[in-house]
Amino acid sequence: MVEHRMIDVNGVRLHIAEHGEGPLVVLLHGFPESWHSWHHQFGPLADAGFRVVAPDQRGYGRSDRPDDVNAYTILHLVGDVVALIHALGEEKAYVVGHDWGAPVAWHTALLRPDVVLGVAGLSVPPPFRGTQLPLAAMDERFDGRFYWNYFNRPGVADAEFGKETRTTLRKFFYALSGDAPGAGEGNQPLVDPEQGWLAGMPDPEVLPEWLTENDLDVLTESFSQGFTGALNWYRNIDRNWELTAPWHGAVVTPPALYIYGDRDAVPAFPGTPELIERLPDIMPNLLRKPLELTGCGHWTQQERPAEVNTALIEFLRACSSSTQAT
């Protein structure tokens, strides 16, 4: 059974779900999600001999939601992960992230390789810092309609998404899945600032097989206090670019795995397909070529749990074997 508790780390209180015994694996969710996005992974990873812990990250679910937008930088988020590993009585752990959880996982490995036994990212590839402020770059390329820019309008997306939380989540999860019309066609997530994002999203009459009403119940409850804490992550995108200047040109060195869906919009972001193509050459410890899941959209571990679980267990075991050999 998955157990739940609160734990103090890095000046905030996080809700965590945990299951199993063995080497620690920390699973980091993205937007708009919670610990529950990993519910298909707890059993298989625990059965494979690992201790699995998935937090509600700061700003989400039952965890603390600092009021200050500046409390959501990548350094705060990495600090939470490092402190969580140590608070759980471990010196090192495997770190796995999806969507926004992937940059947190990748940056934990980049900034603190001494605490990361291996790192896996789903949907979002490893970070390679660009040469200009990200929001300005997207504003220029898409005339202010890229969703990052929309999310940075104070209070706007917060109000739109919080008006009917369950409908918001149902639309998000369907529209960005591999089941949605037009998925995989390389369309960029653009928003009409006057209409909002949800207006252009389809609302399914029947949920995809991988998304249940119970899943929506859990998600809806986790956003009962609104979306502002989660959106504050996006409001630090430029700040993160500034803070990571010392690591410009650095690469993730721990053993790594990257998984993505061929119908996911994120791997089609400007410059990302070329980056994915080059990963085997520029990532020294990428243990296999990026794993592309056919027919899979953005919600990787939920849409394709069996394939993701198999790949993660193979990766974790390969890392464990390598660690024992040394």
Residue holding tokens 């005339």? 143
Report, as residue numbers or ranges, the catalytic residues: 99, 298
Residues in the chain: 326
38 half-sphere exposure, CB direction, 13 A CA radius: 31
How, if at all, do strands 116-122 and 256-261 pair?
A: parallel
Residue holding tokens 């947190």? 104
List all residues 6 or more positions away from 219 whose beta carbon is below 8 Å from its beta carbon.
32, 33, 34, 36, 169
85 half-sphere exposure, CB direction, 13 A CA radius: 26
Please, is 207 exposed, middle or buried when counting C-beta atoms within 10 Å of its C-beta (0-12, 13-18, 19+)?
middle
At residue 279, φ and ψ (nearest 5 deg) are: -50, -45
Structure tokens that stand for 160 in this block: 């739109």
- For residues 289 and 21, is the Cβ–Cβ distance under 8 A? no
